[in-house]
Chain A
Amino acid sequence: MAAVQDGSIEPESEKEMKTEPLNDAAGNHTASVGGVLSSSPVAASSVGTPKANTGSDEQQTLIAVLQFLKRNKLIESVDILRREAGILEELDDTQGSEAAGAGSGGGVNAGVEGRDATSSLINRVSIATTAPASTPAPAPAKGGEDQPDVNVVLSAYSQQGDPVLYPVYYNGLKNFIESVLDCHRAELSQVFYPLFVHMYLELVYNNQENEAKSFFEKFSGDQECYYHDDLRVLSGLTKKEHMKGNETLLDFRTSKFVLRISRDSYQLLKRHLQERQNNQIWNIIQEHLYIDIFDGMPRSKSQIDSMSGSLAGEAKREANKAKVFYGLLKEPEIEVPLDDEDEEAENEEGKPKKKKPKKDSMGSKSKKQDPNAPQQNRIPLPELKDSDKLDKIMNMKEATKRIRLGPELLPSVCFYSFLNAYQGLTAVDFTDDSSLIAGGFADSTVRVWSVTPKRLRGVKSAADLSLIDKESDDVLERIMDEKTASESKILYGHSGPVYGISFSPDRNYLLSCSEDGTVRLWSLQTFTCLVGYKGHNYPVWDTQFSPYGYYFISGGHDRIARLWATDHYQPLRMFAGHLADITCTRFHPNSNYVATGSADRTIRLWDILNGNCVRIFTGHKGPIHSLAFSPNGKFLASGATDGRVLLWDIGHGLMIGELKGHTDTVYALKFSRDGEILASGSMDNTVRLWDSLKAFDDIETDDFTAATGHIHLPENSQELLLGTYMTKSTPVIHLHFTRRNLLLAAGAYNP
């Protein structure tokens, strides 16, 4: 073991001898105890050196070790140790009763007792070899006499060996990994970062401030560049009290970091760590890391880099194996009596034009149940009202006039700049038919504007409503109040900046979520607030209505996403699992799944039916700020602060594309109505258009890739980029394709 070799080279032969019997002990007990015991060769070997200054503490710890060995009937090792330490038999017996009393029976305590002794010996070694550690030495020294108390102190160390030796362990591992074959080195280098962070946090947690600082200074520079933000946060964290308020780091400490390593590399690592008694690192690895082994070729550095970056490592293979129904729900038949023109439109629903309404879509898949689509009644959805059906008819009419976009036919972009927002514009949304824009501001207001010349009208007051003629044909017009009609309406109610806005599909409601922890439902008929949904007690960063209305999702600082229904004052589902704030929440087009992007750099896909997490996508190197599902439901695009847009295949759970080009956070992503073009808007004041058809065509999802998760991303960002459009000085925070495929963009002018 590297640590031992640094420390004491002379008694190596002694150490070898003691190794076997003590390792037999390891075989008898749990791995944890065994791990500690295996460190006792260090202790035992050092017994030779401080023999000169054997105080009573020394004696007692040695005797404790002897007692432990005796209790476990390791006679040979007892003899060897006794011979080496020169302890007489009488002393053993007298101490034996004491020790037994103190030990208070039970194998566990015996193990602890042994551990106390050995750990105190380890500390003595550390004093001899490395920088003196003031805090751990006195406590275990005292513990020689007063063994139960030491349990408490040393339980902090658990079974991970002496924290003061951490730099030594880390260095040893580093040297080993640098010496392996190239093909394995990339994979094994994945171990560095989680190991570094866990060791550092362990040092901080045990109040070893100076050691932690020196450990950090020595090794933080070696880590990958995309972890620099995390490391900066860590550098400010030097005391245990600092950790208390930081839930993310506490979660990181208690959860397992997932690594995917090929079997060959794993065997190599395991063999090295176990054969040379590097059990400290082995124990740390076992405790904090989850190594997902796959059979096959080791991955290259670029493959690993593309998938790593998240706070929890990569995704386990089982995490992405659940079946996801990513197909779309069938559009219902519309039976409203139509005139000729509308009949034609109705047929568009199934397939290309046919005159007879009855013959609907025989040839296309929509007649048969798409195996990848969920059942219609998998989750309860609201039935269509008449107004919804009229909306759908309008939608279909517009769809006929839709422009087919493609690399040769790019959409025109209409940009809505919010002037005089003084950097207070925090959220924007358009209605589906692009008739209204809503903006959420940092001054806690929500403003709604009408995009069309038609002005915004509220419903009349109750007194006026009683005066109108209810039987007239245009009663729906008469209930509207023309006197207070205006271009824009301001909605007051929140007590903090409004971070998320969403219109309902039927344009009756508007949702807004804010830093005050509430999600408010506003009526667009009366322009007043209807409900405040309280559940998050911390800022809510994003909210969205379901494509069918009725349900909505919200995600915030408390790392939970909640699914609500407008008529329940408490959430229906809670999606817990992220390690850091949820920054973006989106519904799947079939409303059965919800995607959440988080500050822990992962995207999770949740099933609404039972709240399970069905997919975990890692690969971003910064918090995710935008998500977009493709209209056919199969793919997901995500944008983060690292400026990259990643494309994911939901069915297989793999990354299938990477779009590089933006230089700053991507805050807006939208697919065109038929999914041919992906538009992305970013803080670097540009809107970029990407060829998504081509990006999705290129994937070869054969069984091999699905099994191992190896992805080979083509470096074709340049080919996929169809256009870059720069604004004067306006970051783009929202994008929207109208029903005819005109691209609308919104942002606040920021000179």
Chain B
Amino acid sequence: MASPKTVPKDAQVMIQILKDMGITEYEPRVINQMLEFTYRYVTTIIEDAKIYATHAKKSTVDADDIRLAIQCRMDQSFTSPPPRDFLLEVARQKNQTPLPLIKPYTGPRLPPDRYCLTAPNYRLKSIQKKVSSSAGRITVPRLSVGPVSSRPTTPTLGTPSVQTVTTKVGTPVSLTGQRFTVQIPSSQTSVKSATPSTPTVQNVLINPSLIGSKNILITTNMVSQNSAGDSSSLKRKHEEDDDYDAL
């Protein structure tokens, strides 16, 4: 241990705390880590308390604010296990059901696939096929569903009135058994000129584990400049370009 005159006061306090709690052997880095944790915790609490004080239109932070801040942080970061009587009750209920019989051996005994980690968590990008270009070509971007964010292929979702996205993109929505319709407003041709002439099918990563049953319909309403709203329904599995109603 360093001589007392070089150890800062905070560290001395921490050393004393460790001694009081009966911890006699520790690496020197432990003091640093403990001090860092203390500093981070205290500043978090005080900042939270400041926010609560200003919310209550008080000019200074007082003990009540601190108490509230500590309590909120406790419920958030430092949760503790449920109380014993609750656990006993839950356990009693769980233990009432008899043990399930074991089916004869039909391969490795694993839970249903959706609870396993055995599914692939990637999908390969399909090869881009050449399609004849035309001025009115509109590429259809696909919206991704799930934690993987979509590529920004529609720079203009800019007609707010038309925009009706039924579900928030980006949230890990469980899509089991739901019909899911996403309408994508048309993109302007002007923008399209920036895109390559061959419509690229941008495959997007969809996390298969999120999609239970395969009832997803991604409907794109394309309003091209010279045609009325035209919707083509695409099933998730069939992603060939041929499904597009290209105009």
To the question of whether A and B form a pair in one complex, the answer is: yes
Question: A residues bordering B, Cβ < 8 Å?
Answer: 229, 232, 235-236, 241, 244-247, 250-251, 254-255, 379-383, 385, 493, 508, 521, 523, 528-532, 537-538, 550, 557-560, 565-569, 571-577, 579, 608-612
What are the residues of chain B within 8 A of A573 when measuring CB–CB? 94-95, 99
Known interface pairs A380-B100, A558-B81. Does A385 touch B105 (Cβ–Cβ under 8 Å)? yes
Q: In the complex, what residue of chain B is closest to A531 when comparing beta carbons?
A: B116
Q: Is B104 an interface residue (CB 8 A)?
A: yes
Stretch at the interface among B6-14, B37-45, B83-91: B83-91
Q: How far in angstroms is the closest Cβ of chain B from A388?
A: 10
- A255-B84, A609-B99 known; A245+B74 contact, CB < 8 A: yes
A530-B117, A531-B110 are contacts. A572–B78 as well, Cβ < 8 Å? no
Whether A568 contacts B102 in the complex (CB less than 8 A), given A245-B74, A530-B116, comes out as: no
Give complex CA distance A579, B99 in Å.
Answer: 26
13 examples of A-B residue contacts, CB within 8 angstroms = A250-B84, A255-B84, A530-B118, A531-B111, A532-B117, A537-B79, A550-B109, A559-B84, A560-B91, A566-B109, A569-B112, A576-B88, A612-B95
Q: Does B82 sit within 8 A of A, measured CB to CB?
A: yes
- Chain A residues with Cβ below 8 Å from B122 are none
B95 touches A232 (CB 8 A): no
Q: Is the CB of B83 within 8 A of A574?
A: no
Closest to A561 in B: B91
Which B residues are in CB contact (< 8 Å) with A241?
67, 70
> Given known contacts A565-B109, A577-B88, is B100 in contact with A572 (CB within 8 Å)?
yes
The main secondary structure of chain B at its interface with chain A is: loop
Provide the residues of chain A in CB contact with B118, threshold 8 Å. Answer: 528, 530
- Cα–Cα distance between A550 and B99 once the two chains are bound (Å): 13
Whether the pair A566, B110 counts as a contact (CB closer than 8 A) is yes
B109: nearest chain-A partner, CB-CB = A567
Give complex CA distance A385, B102 in Å: 13
Within 8 A of A (CB), among B95-126: 95, 99-102, 104-105, 108-112, 115-118
CA distance A280 to B82 in the complex (A): 32
Return A436 CB to nearest CB of chain B, in Å.
18
The 5 closest A-B pairs by CB, nearest first: A611-B95, A576-B91, A558-B81, A569-B115, A574-B91
A611 adjacent to B112 (CB under 8 Å): no
Bound CA span A560–B91, Å: 9
Other-chain residue from A244, A383, A529, A559 in contact with B105 (beta carbon distance below 8 A): A383
B22 at the interface (CB under 8 A from A): yes
Q: Is the interface of A mostly helix, strand, loop or mixed?
A: loop
How far is it, in angstroms, between the C-alpha of A440 and the C-alpha of B79 when the chains are bound? 26
Given contacts A530-B116, A532-B117, contact A567 B110 (CB under 8 A): yes
B1 CB-CB contact with A under 8 Å = no
B80 on the interface (CB 8 Å rule)?
yes
Smallest CB separation, A736 vs chain B (Å): 26
Q: Pick the contact of B87: A245, A380, A560, A566 (CB < 8 A).
A: A560
Alpha-carbon distance between A568 and B118 when the two chains are bound, in angstroms = 15
Q: How far is the CA of A241 from the CA of B78 in the complex (A)?
A: 13
Say whether B21 faces chain A, with CB atoms less than 8 Å apart. yes
Question: Does A247 contact B110, Cβ atoms closer than 8 Å?
Answer: no
Contacts of A550 in B (CB 8 A): 102, 109
- Chain B residues within an 8 Å CB radius of A254: 84-85
Which chain B positions have C-beta within 8 A of A610? 95
Q: Which B residues are in CB contact (< 8 Å) with A557? A: 81
**Which chain B residues border A558 with CB–CB below 8 Å?**
81-82, 87
Contact of B22 with A229 in the complex, beta carbons under 8 Å = yes
CB neighbours (8 Å) of B102 from chain A are 380-383, 550, 565
Cβ contact within 8 Å between A568 and B100: yes
Residues of B within 8 A of A566 (CB): 108-111
Q: Judge whether A382 and B105 touch: CB under 8 Å.
A: yes
Q: Are B109 and A382 in contact (CB under 8 A)?
A: yes
Whole-angstrom CA separation of A557 from B81 in the bound complex: 8
**Which one of B70, B99, B100, B112 has the highest number of Cβ atoms from chain A below 10 Å of its Cβ?**
B99
Minimum C-beta distance from A70 to chain B (A): 40
Distance from B134 Cβ to chain A, minimum over Cβ atoms (Å): 40
B78 pairs with A245, CB closer than 8 A = yes
Structural contact, B94 and A611, CB atoms closer than 8 A: yes
Complex: A574 Cα to B243 Cα, angstroms: 52
Least CB distance, B212 to chain A, in whole angstroms: 14
In the complex, A381→B102 CA distance in Å? 7
Complex alpha-carbon distance, A382 and B100, angstroms: 11
Query: Nearest Cβ in chain B — how far from A503, in angstroms?
Result: 15
Contact A568 B111 (CB under 8 A): yes
Which among A235, A247, A567, A572 has the greatest number of chain B C-beta atoms within 10 A? Answer: A567
A581, closest chain B residue (CB): B81
Nearest Cβ distance between residue A186 and chain B, in whole angstroms? Answer: 27
Besides the contacts A531-B111, A537-B79, A576-B84, what 14 more A-B pairs have beta carbons closer than 8 Å? A241-B70, A254-B85, A380-B100, A380-B102, A382-B105, A530-B118, A550-B109, A565-B102, A566-B109, A572-B99, A576-B87, A579-B84, A609-B99, A611-B94
B140 nearest CB across to chain A (Å): 32
Closest chain-A Cβ to B158's Cβ sits at a distance in Å of: 40
A5: min CB distance to chain B, Å: 37
Name the distance in Å between A604's Cβ and chain B's nearest Cβ: 13
Q: A382 CA to B82 CA in the complex, in Å?
A: 34
Question: What is the bound-complex CA distance between A568 and B111, given in angstroms?
Answer: 5
Given contacts A531-B110, A611-B95, contact A232 B115 (CB under 8 A): no
Q: What is the CB-to-nearest-CB distance from B95 to chain A, in angstroms, rounded to a whole number?
A: 3
Chain A residues whose C-beta falls within 8 Å of the C-beta of B70 in the assembled complex? 241
Complex Cα distance, B95 from A385, in Å, reads 29
Interface 1/0 per residue, B114-158 and A, CB below 8 Å: 011110000000000000000000000000000000000000000
* Chain A residue, CB-CB nearest to B114: A569
Q: Is the CB of B74 within 8 A of A379?
A: no
Least CB distance from B234 to A in Å reads 28
Residues of A within 8 A of B104 (CB): 383
What is the CA–CA distance of A567 and B108 in the complex, to the nearest angstrom? Answer: 9
CB neighbours of A577 from chain B (8 A): 88
B residues near A612, Cβ cutoff 8 Å: 95
**Nearest Cβ on chain B to A234's Cβ, whole angstroms:** 12
Q: Is the CB of A251 within 8 A of B84?
A: yes
Contact residues, B192-245 vs A (CB, 8 A): none
Of the candidates B70, B81, B88, B104, the one having the most CB atoms from chain A within 10 angstroms of its own CB is: B81
CA distance A286 to B145 in the complex (A): 61
Q: Given that A530-B117, A610-B95 are known contacts, is A244 also in contact with B110, CB under 8 Å in the complex?
A: no
CB-contacts of B54-88 with A (<8 A): 67, 70, 74, 78-85, 87-88
Chain B residues closer than 8 Å to A236, beta-carbon distance:
20-21
State in angstroms the CA–CA spacing of A530 and B80 once bound together. Answer: 29
Residues of A within 8 A of B92 (CB): 611
Which chain A residues border B74 with CB–CB below 8 Å?
244-245
Q: Which residues of A contact B80 (CB under 8 A)?
A: 245-247
Residues of B within 8 A of A246 (CB): 80
Q: Which B-chain residue is minimally distant from A560 (CB atoms)?
A: B87
Q: State how many angstroms separate the Cβ of A510 from the closest Cβ of chain B.
A: 13
Chain A residue nearest to B95 in the complex (CB): A611
